[in-house]
C-alpha cells in the first residue's frame, strides 16, 4: 500500500484548524461548565462569592432539593406533555402533508405548497395578537391543548417531508400497487418506514423547539400550575429573594437540559443519515 505524503503546509493548516476548533469548543463549553459548577455548590458558600465554583467541595444537595420540590416536577411534566404532544402532532401532520404534496395529484397542489412555504417567512410575533384572541374565545389558555396547538402546523416539517418523499423512487409505489395495496397502505406500510431519518431529524428539532419555547407559554400559561420549565425557571430568577439560592437555580437549569441532551444522543445518527441523503439506496 502506498504511503500518503502530506506537505508541511498541509500539516500546518490542519494543526491550525484543530486549535481554532479547540478554542471555539472551550469558549462554547465554558457557560455549560459554569452552570454545572454552580449547581454542585452549597448555596451558603455561593453567598460569599462565586469564585469558588471550580474548587472543592461539591454537593448534590441542590439536586436533592429538586426531588423534594413539587413545583419543579409539575413544570417538568407540563414541558414533557407539551413537547411530546407537539412532536407527535408535527410528525403525523407533516408526514401526511409531505406524502400528499410529493405523491398525490390534486387541484392547486403547487399553489398550496407555495402558500405553505410562505409560512417560513411569517414570524410568530406577526400573528400573536390574533392567536391570543382566538384562544381566549375558545377558553384554551392555561391548558395543555392551548400550549400544543399553535405549533402543530410546521412549514419546515412539511417541506422536509415533501422533499424526502420525492427522493424515494416511484417504482416502490408501483410495486406495492401490483400487490393491490391501497394509497394509505402504501404510505403507512411502505413509504413511511423509509422516512425514519427525516422523521428523527424533524422530531428532534420540534422537541427542542417545544421544550425551549418561552414566548407562547409566557402569554398562554398565566397560572403557576400550568408553567413549563422555561417559564418556571424564569419566575424563580425574577423572584430570586424567594428562591432557594443560586445553586438551586443552576440545578434547575441542568435538570431542564437533560431531556434534550438524552434525545439528541439517542437519535443523532438519524440526523447524519438524513443530511447525507442515505435513506434510500
Domain boundary pick from 24, 58, 92: 58
- Lowest average pLDDT, out of 77-81, 150-154, 161-165, 251-255, goes to 251-255
- For residues 98 and 213, state if they share a domain: yes
CATH number of domain containing 201: 1.10.3720.10
Are 47 and 84 members of one domain?
A: no
Task: Please report whether residue 281 resides in a domain.
Answer: no
Is 32 within a domain? Answer: yes
In a domain, 7, yes or no: no
What's residue 275's pLDDT?
Answer: 58
26 and 119 fall within a common domain: no
The pLDDT value given to residue 242: 47
Instruction: Tell me if 63 is assigned to some domain.
Output: no
- Shared-domain flag, residues 34 and 110: no
Write 176-183 long-range contacts (CB < 8 A, 24+): 183/104
pLDDT at 141 over 90: yes
27 shares its domain with 115: no
Task: For 34-87, write each residue's pLDDT tens digit.
Answer: 888 888 888 777 777 777 777 788 888 888 888 777 788 889 899 999 999 999
Predicted local confidence at residue 1, as pLDDT = 45
> Same domain, yes or no, for 116 and 54?
no
pLDDT, position 102: 93
* Per-residue pLDDT tens digits for 169-200: 989 988 888 888 888 999 999 999 999 888 98
Please give the angle made by the CA atoms of 255, 256 and 260, to the nearest 5 degrees: 110
The three cell numbers of residue 135 are 384562544
Are residues 19 and 93 located together in one domain of the fold?
no
125 falls within a domain: yes
163 plus 246 within the same structural domain: yes
Number of structural domains (the chain) is: 2
Same domain as 23, residue 84? no
Q: Residue 87 falls within a domain, yes or no? A: yes
pLDDT for 270: 66
Confidence (pTM): 0.80
Residues 107, 220 within the same domain: yes
- Percent of the chain surpassing pLDDT 90: 35
Structural domain including 118 reads: 70-276
Q: Do residues 176 and 208 share a domain?
A: yes
Q: Band of the pLDDT at 90, cuts 50, 70, 90?
A: very high
Residue 95: pLDDT over 60: yes
Is position 260 within any domain?
yes
pLDDT at 11 over 60: no
Q: How far is CA 191 from CA 62, 101, 188, in A?
A: 48, 14, 6
Candidates 226, 203, 202, 225; CA nearest to 216 is 226
Residue 190, C-beta contacts closer than 8 angstroms, at least 6 positions apart: 172, 173, 176, 181
- Identify whether residues 187 and 234 lie together within a single domain: yes
Amino acid at each position: 500500500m502506498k504511503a500518503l505524503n502530506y506537505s508541511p503546509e498541509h500539516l500546518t493548516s490542519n494543526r491550525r484548524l484543530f486549535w481554532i476548533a479547540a478554542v471555539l469548543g472551550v469558549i462554547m463549553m465554558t457557560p455549560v461548565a459554569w452552570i454545572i459548577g454552580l449547581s454542585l455548590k452549597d448555596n451558603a458558600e455561593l453567598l460569599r462569592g462565586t469564585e469558588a465554583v471550580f474548587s472543592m467541595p461539591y454537593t448534590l444537595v441542590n439536586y436533592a432539593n429538586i426531588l423534594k420540590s413539587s413545583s419543579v416536577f409539575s413544570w417538568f411534566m407540563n414541558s414533557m406533555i407539551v413537547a411530546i404532544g407537539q412532536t407527535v402532532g408535527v410528525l403525523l401532520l407533516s408526514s401526511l402533508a409531505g406524502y400528499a404534496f410529493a405523491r398525490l395529484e390534486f387541484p392547486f397542489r403547487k399553489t398550496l405548497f407555495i402558500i405553505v412555504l410562505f409560512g417560513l417567512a411569517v414570524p410568530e410575533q406577526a400573528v400573536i395578537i390574533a392567536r391570543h384572541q382566538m384562544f381566549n374565545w375558545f377558553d384554551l389558555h392555561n391548558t395543555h391543548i392551548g400550549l400544543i396547538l399553535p405549533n402543530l402546523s410546521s412549514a419546515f416539517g412539511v417541506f422536509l417531508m415533501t422533499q424526502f418523499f420525492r427522493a424515494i423512487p416511484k417504482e416502490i409505489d408501483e410495486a406495492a400497487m401490483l400487490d393491490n395495496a391501497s394509497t394509505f397502505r402504501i404510505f403507512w406500510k411502505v413509504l413511511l418506514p423509509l422516512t425514519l431519518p427525516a422523521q428523527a431529524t424533524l422530531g428532534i428539532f420540534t422537541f427542542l423547539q417545544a421544550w425551549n419555547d418561552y414566548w407562547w407559554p409566557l402569554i398562554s400559561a398565566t397560572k403557576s400550575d400550568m408553567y413549563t420549565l422555561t417559564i418556571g425557571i424564569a419566575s424563580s430568577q425574577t423572584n430570586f429573594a424567594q428562591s432557594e439560592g443560586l445553586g438551586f437555580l443552576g440545578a434547575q437549569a441542568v435538570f431542564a437540559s437533560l431531556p434534550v441532551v438524552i434525545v439528541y444522543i439517542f437519535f443523532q445518527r438519524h440526523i447524519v443519515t438524513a443530511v447525507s441523503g442515505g435513506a434510500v439506496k
